[in-house]
A and B are shown apart, each in its own frame.
Chain A
Amino acid sequence: MIKMFVESFKNLFNKPDTIKYPFEPSPEPKGRFRGTIHYNEELCIFCDKCENICPPGAIKFEIVDIENNKREYNYNPYLCIYCGACVDECPKADEGCLIQSDERISPLGRELPKDKKLGYLINRVSNPKEFEKAWDELEIRAKKSRDEYAKFKKQQRLSKQKNKSTLKNT
């Protein structure tokens, strides 16, 4: 017990190991910190691998133009668990299509972060209170667009077959 008293007494004069958190900023993460996912649309080949692997479903591709198969990348940093599985899976990750940066995203407060790298939806919504609702709507929309696209493709295939058979007949 006396030894511990000595130790405690020494600690009185040592520099504290803690920081005065609300008055001082918390220390920056260093090295390999797994932060926000950044996306580069120009390099993307739209293979949807990141969407399929994402455990909480924080990446969603919405097909906006069914005829040309144009897809939009949407990312929800408040749903993301920052595991980095999408980056591991991305075939173009080495070129910088999908990167896990060491930046932290600010908590969902008065403002939403605006950056082209964070996908489309977060840049379109201005009120942070509506973001969650907008994401729910997007999930439904994305699923619907996928079904529609599958239907469109099936029709295309059928019409092609029909054309072929008519060509053969003639």
Chain B
Amino acid sequence: MTGGNKIIVPFGSQHIALPEPVSFLFTTENEIIKDVEVDVGYVHRGIEKAAITKFEFTNVAYLLTRVCGFCSITHASGYHHGIEKLLNVEVPKRAEYIRMLVVELDRIHSHILANGHVAEVVGYENLFMQSVRYREKVMEILELVTGNRIQYDIYKIGGVRKDLTPEIVEEVKQKLNQLKNEMLKIYDFYDKDYTFGLKTKGISYVSYDMAKEYNAVGPIARASGVDTDTRKEFPYLPYDEIGFEVQTMSEGDVWARNMVRQKEVLHSIDLCLRIVDNLPEGDIATKVKGRPKGEVFVRVEAPRGECFYYIKGNGSKVLERVRIRVPTYSNIPLLKELFIGERYSDAQAIVLSFDPCMSCTAR
């Protein structure tokens, strides 16, 4: 690999610009990246194996939610929707709405931080600080609704574990309205700021065909104009009842990915407000009997894209197979392709515009 004027630059597994451990080996020639190797298995913990040996199907969800801090609700929803299909459980409407509220709130806080990180690595520290300051409000709402800031554990087989009281609904509404104003302010900075645009516009362009060919998911695909969203394609929660729309852009660069996320944040806030306004009355959980038998797959929309769950049960307490395919993993081939020909100084912005979630990917 060495020879000539090629230099190998390691980026990660632990790097000051990386929020999570992923390792890249860049072969560069005068700042231009010529080749790259990716290793995603730095934080492998063997969770899939543990899920089919040490845990029963009733408490394996508590293990799976701890796969990742950001997507904890994604993994909970993936697992529970699958196991409810296997057990033929009808979930009450109110429970579904509460689930939807927490899923959307989780998406908001994840997107705000992802965008903030991009701003940070392109050298726009005060935008990052401002984003994180506003993000705190979402965390407070989540703490109010579920009782915890990161590990929500609100899902349970057959419903949810905690109900929304009128006081909580009132407070959630008030805080969401405040947050909406603040996010509109932040939206302007991402949209119109000249210096932010210099480092992000036109960098790592992904065309519509390329996104389709490399099977990109989530905000990355949507930024290139691919109209894909699991919330529309695989209705695991009643999104059509509250008027969900897919947010797309056509530019396909780092800036567009940020803007898609920012648009989704604003749309998710709207969705949350509609959910708490139209909360149906009724029970929050049904009783569940039986043991899972057969196989099922579920697709859920994580903040980073489509998350795939495959569950197989054989009628006993312990499941036979739990397979997770997370959005970051399906975006890595595209990411690898994008680096070639770009400057090394843009590498950090490209990685973070993909919003990689490594603890999900390595499990």
Verify if B39 is at the interface (C-beta below 8 Å from A): no
Please pick, from B144, B161, B193, the residue contacting A84 in the complex, using a CB distance under 8 A. Answer: B161
CB distance from B285 to the nearest CB of A (A): 9
Residues of A with C-beta under 8 A to B145: 32
- Given contacts A17-B136, A53-B59, are A32 and B126 in contact (CB under 8 A)? no
Verify if A85 is at the interface (C-beta below 8 Å from B): yes
- A88 and B58 form a contact (CB under 8 A): no
B91-145: which have CB < 8 Å to A? 124, 126-127, 130, 133, 136, 143-145
Residues of B with C-beta under 8 A to A31: 143-144, 147
Verify if A130 is at the interface (C-beta below 8 Å from B): no
- Given contacts A3-B188, A3-B189, A34-B148, are A29 and B126 in contact (CB under 8 A)? no
CA distance A108 to B175 in the complex (A): 36
- A55 and B130 form a contact (CB under 8 A): no
CB distance from B124 to the nearest CB of A (A): 8
Chain B residues with a Cβ closer than 8 Å to the other chain, count: 29
CA distance A55 to B50 in the complex (A): 11
Chain A residues with a Cβ closer than 8 Å to the other chain, count: 23
Interface residues, chain A, with chain B CB atoms under 8 Å away = 1, 3-4, 7-8, 11, 17, 29-34, 52-55, 81-85, 88
Given A34-B153, A85-B59, 19 further pairs, Cβ under 8 A = A3-B188, A4-B124, A4-B126, A4-B130, A4-B193, A7-B126, A7-B130, A17-B133, A29-B143, A30-B144, A31-B147, A33-B147, A33-B148, A34-B148, A54-B59, A82-B148, A84-B161, A85-B62, A88-B156
Interface residues, chain B, with chain A CB atoms under 8 Å away = 55-56, 58-59, 62-63, 66, 124, 126-127, 130, 133, 136, 143-148, 151, 153, 156, 161-162, 188-189, 193-195
**Cross-chain pairs A/B with CB under 8 angstroms, 26 sampled:** A3-B188, A4-B127, A4-B189, A7-B126, A7-B130, A8-B126, A17-B133, A30-B143, A30-B144, A31-B143, A31-B147, A32-B144, A32-B147, A32-B162, A34-B148, A53-B58, A55-B55, A55-B62, A81-B62, A81-B66, A82-B151, A83-B151, A84-B161, A85-B59, A85-B62, A88-B156
